[in-house]
């Protein structure tokens, strides 16, 4: 599909981008290339592959034909230059920072993040010598104030997990440009169907493909997409990309690969040395899921709006944080960045606090109580007792995961059935609180 971003619509690219009938068998669906290695034509061919002089397949830790289709498809949908798929969303975050950071470097990130990301950024990254400064994203200038000469990136979730908070990306992108560093945006909850962060100034996008892209709760994965527009050679801040690489006989990624430098580094260095490879079968399942992404997201948003409106008027609910509600403080930002709808993951507060919240998640029957989101099935969780329990109470409150908070990921069932299940569970929580 030549010039897919300009010639074909989103739905068409969701089905066709990066793929073609198998030339050997004629199979129309992308095959699962469940192999570890690939035969070389001769010694010279092998040498050119290992020297990055020729594109091709060597070993599935680095590249795999099934995974490559997924990478091309997601890059097309996001309007990016290239992509690196990997084993999980957390692996994608490591790979996103890996070409940018050296020991002793720093970055600035939003405080409104998935709890596991807060832990990764503030604890695990320190073992690499990377320091993250977390700020309140409600005021974009907070990102500028936190910058230091050692900062190499800004990171945020445009639609934050779990609170349904929308970050005003455009001014943050301007701050990143003025500082000469890339803006990394997690677009997992929005997906490229609802929002394309590159259109608003982002330089790098990450996804947990485990969520809405695969869509069925059956395949782990992550992906990093590069816009191809950031000039990593403009300064000496990014030596991994702009200086000679000893592991490849002094090759310089920016000189050799131009606007593909970041993506090639993700495979040739990131996947090679860190090893968070995506399994071919998970790539296959994710490719299949993406084919229905547009249809699914439309239904996700429709159902979420109905459920949020129901909860907003429920006597056992103290508040609802869904940007599709007119009273929500992020309503105007949702209209700007997510005109097709602000996703289907949001939180609400249960009257009665922690115990009432626990009772709700233990009382549902149709909804599944588990630590995932973006499934065809409606999911529910109490973050303070699960996904965010490793955080302090203050960090939980900052992340929008206080003791009364219940997170929903609204699926594709009949909206009336979802509402009925929640209504029964909330009635039980009221009795528990009493």
Residues near 291 by beta carbon (within 8 Å), at least 6 away in sequence: 14, 15
The band of 383, judged by pLDDT with boundaries at 50, 70 and 90, is confident
The band of 401, judged by pLDDT with boundaries at 50, 70 and 90, is confident
Mean pLDDT for 269-274 is 98
Find out if CATH 3.40.50.300 is the number for domain 294-433: no
Helix/strand/coil for 424: helix
Mean pLDDT for 373-397 is 85
Give percent of the chain above pLDDT 90.
Answer: 88
Residues near 306 by beta carbon (within 8 Å), at least 6 away in sequence: 415, 419
Predicted pLDDT of residue 396: 77
What phi, psi does 134 have (nearest 5°)? Answer: -95, 130
- Stronger pLDDT, 353 or 324, i.e. the higher one: 324
- Size of the chain, expressed as the number of residues it contains: 434
**Residue 193 contacts residue 293 (beta carbons within 8 Å):** yes
Residue-wise DSSP of 227-241: -S-S-TTSSSS-HHH
Predicted pLDDT of residue 235: 96
- Calpha distance 228→265 (Å, rounded): 13
| 73 cis-preceded (ω within 30 degrees of 0) | no
User: Is pLDDT above 50 for 4?
Assistant: no
Q: What is the mean pLDDT of the chain?
A: 94
Predicted pLDDT of residue 394: 81
Residue with tokens 């995974």: 67
**Residue 233 contacts residue 242 (beta carbons within 8 Å):** yes
Token readout for 63 is 């590249």
Mean pLDDT for 268-297 is 98
- Strand duo 106-110 + 131-135: pairing: parallel
**Residue 323 contacts residue 334 (beta carbons within 8 Å):** yes
Please state at what angle helix 415-433 crosses helix 353-363, rounded to 10 degrees.
140
Predicted pLDDT of residue 238: 98
6-10, 33-37, 338-342, 385-389: which range is least confident on average? 385-389
List, for residues 200-245, the tens digit of each pLDDT value: 999 999 999 999 999 999 999 999 999 999 999 999 999 999 999 9
- Stronger pLDDT, 428 or 222, i.e. the higher one: 222
Sign of the CA dihedral running 375, 61, 99, 102 = positive
List, for residues 170-189, the tens digit of each pLDDT value: 999 999 999 999 999 999 99
User: Is pLDDT above 80 for 162?
Assistant: no
Mean pLDDT for 405-433 is 92
List, for residues 65-94, the tens digit of each pLDDT value: 999 999 999 999 999 999 999 999 999 999
Mean pLDDT for 326-346 is 97
- Calpha distance 361→303 (Å, rounded): 19
Domain limits, CATH 3.40.640.10, in the chain: 4-100+182-290
C-alpha angle with apex 166: 162 to 169, nearest 5 degrees?
130
Give percent of the chain above pLDDT 70.
Answer: 97
Least Cα distance to 361 among 343, 387, 398 occurs for 387
Region of 191 on the Ramachandran plot (φ > 0 left; ψ -120 to 50 alpha; else beta): left
CA dihedral 311, 371, 108, 100 (to 10 degrees): -140
For the purposes of burial, counting CB atoms within 10 Å of the CB of 37, is it exposed (0-12), middle (13-18) or buried (19 or more)? Answer: exposed
Predicted pLDDT of residue 6: 56
Mean pLDDT for 52-74 is 96
CATH code for the domain defined by 4-100+182-290? 3.40.640.10
Domain limits, CATH 3.90.1150.10, in the chain: 294-433
The band of 391, judged by pLDDT with boundaries at 50, 70 and 90, is confident
Predicted pLDDT of residue 1: 52
What phi, psi does 213 have (nearest 5°)? Answer: -65, -50
Write down the pTM of the prediction.
0.95
- Calpha distance 344→303 (Å, rounded): 8
Which alpha helices (H) appear in 98-217, and where do they start and end? Answer: 115-122, 141-146, 169-179, 191-194
The band of 290, judged by pLDDT with boundaries at 50, 70 and 90, is very high
């Amino acid at each position: 599909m030549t010039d897919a971003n300009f010639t074909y619509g989103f739905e068409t690219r969701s089905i066709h981008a990066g793929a073609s009938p198998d030339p050997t068998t004629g199979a129309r669906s992308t095959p699962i290339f469940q192999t570890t290695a690939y035969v070389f034509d001769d010694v010279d061919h092998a040498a050119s592959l290992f020297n990055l002089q020729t594109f091709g397949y060597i070993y599935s830790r680095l590249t795999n034909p099934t995974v490559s289709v997924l990478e091309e498809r997601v890059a097309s949908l996001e309007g990016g230059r290239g992509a690196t798929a990997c084993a999980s969303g957390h692996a994608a975050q490591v790979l996103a920072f890996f070409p940018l950071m050296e020991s002793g470097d720093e970055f600035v990130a939003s405080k409104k993040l998935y709890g596991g990301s807060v832990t990764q950024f503030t604890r695990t990254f320190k073992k690499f010598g990377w320091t993250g400064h977390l700020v309140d994203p409600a005021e974009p200038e907070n990102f500028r104030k936190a910058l230091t000469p050692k900062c190499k990136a800004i990171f945020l979730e445009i639609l934050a997990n779990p609170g349904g908070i929308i970050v005003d990306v455009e001014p943050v992108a301007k701050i990143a440009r003025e500082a000469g560093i890339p803006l990394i945006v997690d677009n997992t909850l929005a997906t490229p169907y609802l929002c394309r962060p590159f259109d608003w100034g982002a330089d790098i996008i990450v996804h947990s493909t485990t969520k809405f892209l695969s869509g069925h709760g059956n395949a782990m994965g992550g992906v990093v997409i590069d816009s191809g527009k950031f000039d990593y050679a403009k300064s000496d801040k990014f030596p991994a990309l702009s200086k000679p690489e000893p592991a490849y006989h002094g090759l310089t990624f920016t000189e050799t690969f131009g606007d593909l430098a970041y993506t090639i580094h993700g495979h040739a260095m990131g996947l090679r040395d860190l090893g968070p490879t995506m399994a071919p079968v998970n790539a296959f399942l994710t490719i299949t899921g993406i084919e229905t992404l547009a249809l699914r997201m439309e239904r996700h948003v429709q159902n979420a709006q109905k459920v949020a409106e129901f909860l907003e008027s429920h006597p056992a609910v103290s508040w609802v944080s869904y940007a599709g509600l007119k009273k929500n403080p992020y309503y105007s930002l949702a209209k700007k960045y997510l005109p097709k709808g602000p996703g289907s993951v949001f939180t609400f507060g249960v009257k009665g606090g922690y115990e009432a919240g626990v009772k709700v998640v233990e009382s549902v029957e149709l909804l599944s109580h588990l630590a995932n989101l973006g499934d065809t099935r409606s999911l529910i969780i109490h973050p303070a007792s699960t996904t965010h329990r490793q955080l302090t109470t203050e960090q939980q409150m900052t992340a929008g995961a206080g003791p009364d908070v219940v997170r929903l990921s609204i699926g594709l069932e009949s909206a009336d059935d979802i509402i009925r299940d929640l209504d029964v569970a909330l009635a039980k929580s009221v009795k528990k609180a009493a």
